[in-house]
């Protein structure tokens, strides 16, 4: 194809092309737009395509397997406007010569293996609109020259190893629509952003400190805000609730404190997902949440909220799917019956609070726990057009779940998580039989309460159940035989109750061989483990006795001089006596033969 000297446009994207780019391609000297994206091409990027194609304006090589470094000749492509090398295996540093592409509008180098700093020469790209360097191993600080990119609308540096404080010049980027700095090592205060056009701000998983930036209250178009996993402190300003377009906000895992103040406008909000977990918030349940009619995910866990869980949640948040209030100080004589109006609710976590009363009847109204969820994820998208390209800024919602003794973050597959966790409260009464109608449950934890009565006989209806913990209650009676029908069960704990009778048999139950999951029950022994425990006790007692005896004996020899002297004297006497006998036995004078006769043993010369 190198002979096609007049060829200007070549698009072979989305095929199954493999191998390397032939050097002869440099012969197509009038090439303007060249796209080989989404193939299986490998090898290095030929430097000649930058120096031999003076009219090149578009180069798309993304989603291939190119290796090696970015050629320094890239700076010779003076007319290049759109460059995408996304998702290859490129290594080495970003060459400083990249600043020579004065016409460049899009630079996409994400998802490679690039190292080293962001070159300050990037500040020469005055027409740059899109800069994506995410998912590499870039180090160092963001150069102050970034402020020269006043046309920038999309800045994505996430998932690198960048550090230090962000330059003040970042406030000069007044046209930003999308900013992602997540998963780096940035420190200092949250940057003073001034773009009122901002739609998405992802600054999570860094070490930003200081108070919540008031400048965010001015971003009236903001739809996605993620400041989680930083070191922000102080009170959350009430003006944040004036952002009518905000759909997703995650401020979890900081040290924010105080009451969550209500908005002064008291108008409806567009929030679909709100995460305030793992902070130091206090006071009553935030009343501002009542204005969030579109809310699907609410996570207030691991704070110091107190008072009653408001009954208006049932009618005020009709679309709620995830409700996580664990590890607070919520109290009340009962779980609000109105929660059962949440027909979309699929995960309810009220663990580790001060709730009392009974488990309410009417659980069958939680229809999303009856029918297993088939959706794979819950995503929200922010759509925007940049450079005549369709840009979808999306996030996959997530929630922390205490799952099989550990805490896991369910992200993307959140719609597959269905469960109830009421553990660590003071809930009494019996387990409602209708609980077994929630056949979509994968997790059920009612441990460390005051529940009494029998385990529901139809517990076997929960076919998808993977984790069942009823420990530390006052449950009595037999273990239902239906529990052996839980073929997905991988964690079971019935310990510390008053259960009796035989343990049901089943192929899945046999894999749960740890006897402690049935321990400390009363009445008829659950397992005939007395002989086994006795044997183990005797075995370990013998070992312990032997070890103690040896230490006592040898310790006495070390610390009691008279014992030590007598012991070594006795050993010396035994050794001497043995040597005397050995010399008599090995004497060359006589030996006994088979006929008991005596014959000389000396050797004849």
**The pLDDT of residue 533 is above 60:** no
Domain boundary residue, one of 546, 568, 583: 546
Bridging pattern class, strands 379-386 and 389-396: antiparallel
Using only C-alpha atoms, what is the Rg of the chain?
37
- Tokens found for residue 20: 């390397």
What are the pLDDT digits (tens) for 231-264? 999 999 999 999 999 999 999 999 999 999 887 7
Asked if the structure places residue 275 within a domain, the reply is: no
**Per-residue confidence (pLDDT) for residue 268, from 0 to 100:** 78
Asked if the structure places residue 140 within a domain, the reply is: yes
Which band of pLDDT confidence, cut at 50, 70 and 90, is reported for residue 568? low
| Lowest-confidence region among 252-266, 394-408, 413-427, 452-466 | 394-408
What CA–CA distance (Å, rounded) separates 568 from 564? 6
What CA–CA distance (Å, rounded) separates 331 from 425? 9
Over residues 526-533, the mean pLDDT reads 45
Asked if the structure places residue 433 within a domain, the reply is: yes
Q: What is the DSSP letter of 93?
A: B
**The pLDDT of residue 591 is above 50:** no
**Shortest CA distance to 212 belongs to which of 181, 238, 187, 194?**
238
Asked if the structure places residue 185 within a domain, the reply is: no
By three-state DSSP, how is residue 428 classified?
strand
**The pLDDT of residue 471 is above 70:** yes
Which band of pLDDT confidence, cut at 50, 70 and 90, is reported for residue 408? low
Asked if the structure places residue 55 within a domain, the reply is: yes
| Lowest-confidence region among 50-54, 344-348, 527-531 | 527-531
More confident residue, 270 or 114: 114
**Per-residue confidence (pLDDT) for residue 376, from 0 to 100:** 46
More confident residue, 115 or 539: 115
By three-state DSSP, how is residue 264 classified?
coil
The count of C-alpha atoms lying within 13 angstroms of the C-alpha of 64, restricted to the half-sphere facing its C-beta, is 30
Which band of pLDDT confidence, cut at 50, 70 and 90, is reported for residue 588? very low
What are the pLDDT digits (tens) for 472-517? 999 999 999 999 999 999 999 999 999 998 888 888 888 888 889 9
| Cross-strand partners of 273 | 248, 297
What CA–CA distance (Å, rounded) separates 14 from 22? 19
Cβ atoms of 124 and 101 closer than 8 Å: no
Over residues 44-65, the mean pLDDT reads 94
CATH code at 343?
3.80.10.10
| Lowest-confidence region among 111-120, 182-191, 409-418, 501-510 | 409-418
What CA–CA distance (Å, rounded) separates 537 from 533? 6
Which band of pLDDT confidence, cut at 50, 70 and 90, is reported for residue 390? low
**The pLDDT of residue 135 is above 90:** yes
Over residues 2-9, the mean pLDDT reads 80
What CA–CA distance (Å, rounded) separates 400 from 511? 27
- Tokens found for residue 66: 């190119």
> Measured between alpha carbons, how far is residue 476 from residues 436, 453, 472, 480 in Å?
18, 6, 12, 11
What are the pLDDT digits (tens) for 282-340? 999 999 999 999 999 999 999 999 999 999 999 999 999 999 999 999 999 889 999 99
Cβ atoms of 153 and 129 closer than 8 Å: yes
**Per-residue confidence (pLDDT) for residue 115, from 0 to 100:** 98
Q: What is the DSSP letter of 346?
A: -
The count of C-alpha atoms lying within 13 angstroms of the C-alpha of 380, restricted to the half-sphere facing its C-beta, is 22
Over residues 272-284, the mean pLDDT reads 96
**Per-residue confidence (pLDDT) for residue 536, from 0 to 100:** 43
Over residues 16-24, the mean pLDDT reads 91
Domain boundary residue, one of 546, 567, 593: 546
Asked if the structure places residue 228 within a domain, the reply is: no
Are 169 and 316 within one domain?
Answer: no
Domain boundary residue, one of 129, 147, 175: 175
Domain extent at residue 520 = 312-320+328-370+418-546
Report how many domains make up the chain. 2
Asked if the structure places residue 125 within a domain, the reply is: yes
Asked if the structure places residue 276 within a domain, the reply is: no
Over residues 541-557, the mean pLDDT reads 59
Which band of pLDDT confidence, cut at 50, 70 and 90, is reported for residue 403? low
> Measured between alpha carbons, how far is residue 273 from residues 319, 320, 321, 400, 480 in Å?
11, 9, 10, 14, 39
């Amino acid at each position: 194809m190198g002979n096609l000297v007049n060829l200007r446009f070549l698009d072979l994207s989305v095929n199954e092309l493999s191998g390397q780019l032939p050097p002869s391609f440099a012969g197509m000297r009038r090439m303007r737009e060249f796209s080989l994206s989404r193939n299986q091409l490998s090898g290095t990027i030929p430097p000649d395509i930058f120096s031999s194609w003076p009219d090149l304006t578009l180069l798309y090589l993304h989603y291939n397997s190119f290796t090696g470094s970015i050629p320094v000749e890239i700076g010779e492509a003076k007319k290049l406007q759109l460059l995408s090398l996304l998702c290859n295996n490129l290594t080495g540093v970003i060459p400083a010569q990249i600043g020579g592409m004065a016409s460049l509008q899009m630079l996409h180098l994400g998802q490679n293996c690039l190292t080293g700093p962001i070159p300050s020469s990037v500040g020469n790209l005055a027409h740059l609109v899109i800069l994506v360097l995410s998912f590499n191993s870039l180090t160092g600080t963001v150069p102050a020259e970034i402020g020269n990119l006043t046309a920038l609308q999309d800045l994505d540096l996430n998932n690198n190893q960048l550090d230090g404080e962000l330059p003040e010049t970042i406030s000069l980027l007044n046209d930003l629509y999308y900013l992602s700095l997540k998963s780096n090592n940035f420190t200092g205060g949250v940057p003073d952003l001034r773009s009122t056009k901002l739609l998405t701000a992802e600054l999570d998983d860094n070490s930003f400190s200081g108070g919540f930036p008031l400048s965010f209250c001015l971003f009236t178009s903001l739809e996605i805000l993620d400041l989680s996993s930083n070191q922000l402190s102080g009170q959350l300003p009430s003006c944040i609730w004036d952002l009518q377009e905000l759909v997703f906000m995650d401020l979890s895992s900081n040290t924010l404190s105080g009451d969550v103040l209500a908005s002064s406008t008291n108008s409806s909000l567009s929030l679909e997902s709100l995460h305030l977990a793992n902070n130091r918030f206090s006071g009553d349940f935030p009343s501002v949440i009542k204005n969030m009619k579109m809310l699907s995910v609410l996570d207030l866990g691991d704070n110091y909220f107190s008072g009653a869980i408001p009954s208006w949640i049932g009618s005020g948040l009709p679309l709620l799917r995830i409700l996580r209030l664990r590890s607070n100080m919520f109290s009340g004589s009962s779980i609000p019956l109105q929660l059962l109006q949440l027909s979309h609710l699929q995960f309810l976590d009220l663990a580790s609070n001060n709730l009392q009363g009974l488990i309410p009847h009417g659980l069958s109204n939680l229809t999303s726990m009856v029918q297993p969820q088939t959706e794979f994820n819950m995503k929200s998208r922010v759509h925007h057009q940049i450079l005549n390209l369709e840009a979808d800024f999306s996030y996959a919602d997530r929630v922390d779940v205490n799952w099989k003794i550990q805490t896991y973050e369910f992200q993307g597959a959140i719609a597959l998580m269905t469960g109830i966790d009421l553990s660590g409260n003071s809930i009494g009464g019996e387990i409602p039989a209708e609980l077994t109608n929630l056949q979509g449950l994968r997790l059920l934890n009612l441990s460390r309460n005051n529940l009494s009565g029998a385990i529901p006989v139809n517990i076997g209806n929960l076919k998808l159940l993977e984790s069942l913990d009823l420990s530390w209650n006052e449950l009595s009676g037999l273990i239902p035989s239906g529990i052996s029908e839980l073929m997905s069960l991988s964690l079971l704990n019935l310990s510390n109750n008053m259960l009796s009778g035989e343990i049901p048999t089943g192929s899945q139950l046999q894999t749960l061989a740890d006897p402690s999951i049935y321990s400390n029950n009363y009445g008829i022994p659950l397992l005939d483990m007395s002989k086994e425990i006795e044997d183990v006790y005797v075995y370990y007692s013998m070992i312990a006795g032997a070890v103690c005896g040896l230490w006592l004996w040898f310790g006495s020899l070390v610390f009691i001089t008279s014992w030590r002297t007598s012991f070594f004297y006795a050993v010396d006497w035994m050794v001497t006596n043995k040597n005397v006998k050995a010399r008599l036995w090995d004497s060359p004078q006589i030996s006994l033969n088979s006929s008991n006769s005596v014959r000389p043993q000396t050797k004849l010369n």
